[in-house]
Amino acid sequence: EPTPLIATPEHTVEGFVREYLRELNFAQGTILERASVNDHYLALARTVRHYLMARWITTTTEHYRRQPKAVAYLSAEYLLGRQLDNALVAADLEDIAAEALASLGIDLADLREAEVEPGLGNGGLGRLAACFIDSLATMSVPAIGYGIRYEYGIFRQTFVDGRQVEKPDEWLVGGAPWEFAHPEHEVTVGFGGHTERYVDGEGDDAVERTRWVPGWKVLGVPYNYMVPGYRNGRVNTLRLWSSRATHAFDLKIFNHGDYAEAVRSRTFAENISKVLYPEDSTPQGKELRLQQQYFFVACSLRDFINQLLPEDFDLHDLPERICFQLNDTHPVIAVPELMRILVDEEGFDWDEAWEVTRRCFAYTCHTLLPEALEVWPVDVLGRLLPRHLEIIYRINDEFLARVREHSGDDELLVRRMSIIAEHPARSVRMAHLATVAATKVNGVAELHSQLLRDKVLADFARFWPEKFTNVTNGVTPRRFVRLANPGLSGLITEAIGEGWVTDLDRLRDLEPLADDAEFRRRFREVKDANKHRLVDLLARRDGIEIDPGTMLDVMVKRLHEYKRQTLKILHVITLYDRIVSGEVAVEDLVPRTVVFGAKAAPGYVMAKEIIALINHVGAVVGAHPEVSKVLRVAFPANYNVTVAETLVPAADLSEQISLAGKEASGTGNMKFALNGALTIGTDDGANVEIRQLVGDDHFFLFGLTEPEAAAMQEAGYRPSSYYEKNRSLRRALDLVAHGEFSGGNRSTFEPVVSNLLGEDRFMVLADFQSYLDAQERVEAAYRDPDAWSRSAVLNVARSGFFSSDRSMRDYMDRIWHAEVLPPL
């Protein structure tokens, strides 16, 4: 077969201009003189896309021809961030594009700002999926990402009187130049209905089989996105599914003559991919969420089998072709779905189907909080997916028979390990299903994987010790260093060459430069310039004024009690109190700007109260003539990937202060370290590994360890004893309780205070003094700019391990064993 012929525009300024004008004229139907910023943005996006097209088609064609062992990443979320910059960098077009546009009188920077980021994820887990597909493409691994094309991504956060108010995220309205719809590859997905037994064949060949007769069907239409590798000639695919009504859906009603009703009924099917659920723990058990999960997984399996495998492929060989990686339990319904396909549709017997299925799946767990583990009531699941429930029951029966056999009928053990929970309501434990089915189960940082083995999944780890492994998370250096921090990137490349972008361990070569005064000076210059970029962004975007001459102390992540934004705000309150009471003079403090960024799940009442508290404290601090000289709180609304790209490079101090044993990994912690912020953090998640690598002298550790916290809970934790013993803590909490930050109203933040004094599940009060002490060490260190920037440079030099390229290598070696193609 000949290599397909593909038109590629010339890699020159003139070539770019020509292609750009063609897009502006022929696709946007406008001319330079009349085009809007959005016209320009769309023309630019399409132009860049054209440069990647040949690589995309070639990569995809090669995957099909070679049929290598590949990876399919199944994730309900991809928090991609803006595409334009990433594509420009990957295709090595930044300079050409900037020059070409300038020759037309257009500023590339203005067009960058016109892009609305696809926010198709909640936080860490969704962003991780985006980093992973970037790394897979850059490493030439044959991989495809499967997910959902939500019409509305994570809500847009606004503040009204300091309280969070959610607005719909209308990311598609300006046009979606990065996607390719493929209605001709639509897939039909069933829901509901019932199952039937029937006899297949005759005489001696007759076998009893089951078929599922769905009660209703929807269509899935795939939308393809390019996933460009970094300058390696490869472009992989992200395939997101959008739900449509089937053509039969409304036929009956049409024939009844009720046109309006028929059209209305279509919205039912189209609702499935309408909106991303904004909860990222304590799942609500909403039936539509389960529909989303089955919808995208059923589309993806069908698509993989029908589109990516050859016609005559023998599904017994499926494990030689693919590993389906389950990003948490959200896609785990893929397990009974593949069983259904093999047994009911392909006529496999149960055992051979199970053998194939087992070998095709691997499962990544992202949590330790029991309330974040997904469970679905049996009645909900059985109504929506009756055949899948039968299959899950049979998987469970066979699994529990083995447990009984190995444990001498230990019925307590059997009950603990069962995929089906009986109390409080009979339900399916999705993590158990995933663990039973998967060839490998991994946690996302060393400590997390250890706690999975020792606690959350201990029974399973004893049963299948070799099943459990760790793959520490990582972040893509393309987006979070190369693209977000051009200043630092330039400095690094000048010092050690450009290989680091795809081989982040090379950052080690920077270590000697930590002792080079001139290098440190230039490093500080970059940090300073990055702070100015942030100042501009916050002024323009939020009307927030911050002083680039202050220490930038940053806590950005979803709002969760376990992440302990309250600990950070109690520190701010303590500083405020010490100044107002005259205990310290402003001259004796290091001036700080404390930046928060955090969305709360809309139904998470306590999280929303904490947001209000932060905003109210910020207002009082900012309005105080003395305090505001040395302390400011900035809480820009709607923190997202785009904001992170300006905020992370500007930070001096990274706040990673979850209670030990609660944050599975964290990935923000890695982004900050790689951009030369120092971390103040607990011994939790990947903080542990960051500290080991950068060294104790360059990391501000505080707080209880996981075993200490567990022991203290065991012994009966009494938070009020800390309130009684600790004067600073008492004064800070009293200020909140007495209405200092709520115009004298004592009831406003009463729930926050009484929660801390009463239960304090995440031991904020126990860690308070230790945190204050660590902040004192931060202040002392920051007063010595040379020592501080030496530590900062060492943070950069020693964080190469946290590249998602390394994570992908670990998944390849420990779990996937996929092939690697040569770069093109």
| Catalytic annotation, residues | 366, 557-558, 563, 667, 671
CB of 115 to ligand 26Q, least distance (A): 24
Q: Binding residue for ligand 26Q (CB under 6 A) from 209, 274, 289, 506? A: 289
- Distance in angstroms (rounded) separating the CA atoms of residues 341 and 333: 13
Q: Binding residue for ligand 26Q (CB under 6 A) from 28, 75, 122, 135? A: 122
Q: Binding residue for ligand 26Q (CB under 6 A) from 9, 118, 123, 220? A: 123
Nearer to ligand 26Q, 560 or 571 (CB): 560
Helix-helix angle 565-580:605-623, to 10 degrees: 30
CB of 292 to ligand 26Q, least distance (A): 9
Phi-psi region of 52 (alpha: psi -120 to 50; beta: other; left: phi over 0): alpha
Vertex 465: Cα angle to 462 and 468 (nearest 5): 120
DSSP 480-538: IIIIT-HHHHHHHHHHH-GGGGT-GGGGGGGGGGGG-HHHHHHHHHHHHHHHHHHHHHH
CB of 671 to ligand 26Q, least distance (A): 11
Residue 194's alpha-carbon distances to 334, 340, 383, 733, in angstroms, are 19, 14, 9, 58
Nearest to 324 by CA among 349, 356, 351, 353: 356
488-524 exposure pattern, b = at least 16 Cβ within 10 A, e = fewer = bbebbeebbeeebbbebebbebbeebbeeeebbebbb
Count of residues in the chain: 824
Q: Based on the shown chain and the rule CB under 6 A, indicate whether residue 81 belongs to the binding site for ligand 26Q.
A: no
Restricting to residues 406-465, name those near ligand 26Q by CB under 6 A. 444
CB of 373 to ligand 26Q, least distance (A): 9
Q: Quick count: other Cβ atoms within 10 Å of Cβ 110?
A: 12
Letters for 321-360 (x = contact with ligand 26Q by CB under 6 A, - = none) are ---------x------------------------------
Nearer to ligand 26Q, 97 or 664 (CB): 664
CB of 664 to ligand 26Q, least distance (A): 4
- The piece of 167-175, 185-193, 203-211, 658-666 that touches ligand 26Q (CB under 6 A) is 658-666
Q: Binding residue for ligand 26Q (CB under 6 A) from 128, 335, 342, 400? A: 128
Nearer to ligand 26Q, 372 or 621 (CB): 372
CB of 431 to ligand 26Q, least distance (A): 11
CB of 658 to ligand 26Q, least distance (A): 8
- The piece of 11-19, 278-286, 607-615, 778-786 that touches ligand 26Q (CB under 6 A) is 278-286
Q: Binding residue for ligand 26Q (CB under 6 A) from 17, 35, 125, 633? A: 125
- Distance in angstroms (rounded) separating the CA atoms of residues 121 and 150: 9
119-136 exposure pattern, b = at least 16 Cβ within 10 A, e = fewer = bbbbbbbbbbbbbbbbbb
List of residues 6+ apart from 524 with CB closer than 8 A: 785, 789
Is 254 exposed, middle or buried, given 0-12, 13-18 or 19+ CB atoms closer than 10 A?
Answer: middle
Helix (H, G, I), strand (E, B) or coil at 555: strand
Nearer to ligand 26Q, 366 or 467 (CB): 366
- The piece of 105-113, 153-161, 276-284, 513-521 that touches ligand 26Q (CB under 6 A) is 276-284
Beta bridge partner(s), residue 126? none
Letters for 660-699 (x = contact with ligand 26Q by CB under 6 A, - = none) are ---xxxxx-----------------x--------------
Helix (H, G, I), strand (E, B) or coil at 585: coil
Letters for 215-254 (x = contact with ligand 26Q by CB under 6 A, - = none) are ----------------------------------------
Q: Based on the shown chain and the rule CB under 6 A, indicate whether residue 374 belongs to the binding site for ligand 26Q.
A: yes
CB of 74 to ligand 26Q, least distance (A): 14
Letters for 143-172 (x = contact with ligand 26Q by CB under 6 A, - = none) are ------------------------------
CB of 125 to ligand 26Q, least distance (A): 3
Helix (H, G, I), strand (E, B) or coil at 575: helix
Q: Binding residue for ligand 26Q (CB under 6 A) from 277, 363, 699, 788? A: 277
DSSP 199-259: EESSGGG-EEEEEEE-SEEEEEEEEEEEEE-SSSS-EEEEEEEEEEE-TTTTHHHHHTT-H
Beta bridge partner(s), residue 120? 78
Nearest to 418 by CA among 438, 441, 398, 389: 398
List of residues 6+ apart from 798 with CB closer than 8 A: 507, 508, 511, 693, 694, 695
Nearer to ligand 26Q, 185 or 289 (CB): 289
Beta strands 322-327 and 70-74 are: parallel
Residue 338's alpha-carbon distances to 240, 290, 293, in angstroms, are 19, 17, 14
- The piece of 122-130, 157-165, 464-472, 510-518 that touches ligand 26Q (CB under 6 A) is 122-130
Q: Based on the shown chain and the rule CB under 6 A, indicate whether residue 283 belongs to the binding site for ligand 26Q.
A: yes
What radius of gyration, in Å, describes the C-alpha atoms of the chain?
28
Q: Binding residue for ligand 26Q (CB under 6 A) from 113, 279, 459, 542? A: 279
- The piece of 192-200, 273-281, 692-700, 716-724 that touches ligand 26Q (CB under 6 A) is 273-281
Nearer to ligand 26Q, 272 or 781 (CB): 272
CB of 325 to ligand 26Q, least distance (A): 13
Q: Quick count: other Cβ atoms within 10 Å of Cβ 705?
A: 16
Residues that bind ligand 26Q (CB under 6 A): 122-125, 128, 277, 279-281, 283, 289, 330, 366, 372, 374, 444, 473, 663-667, 685
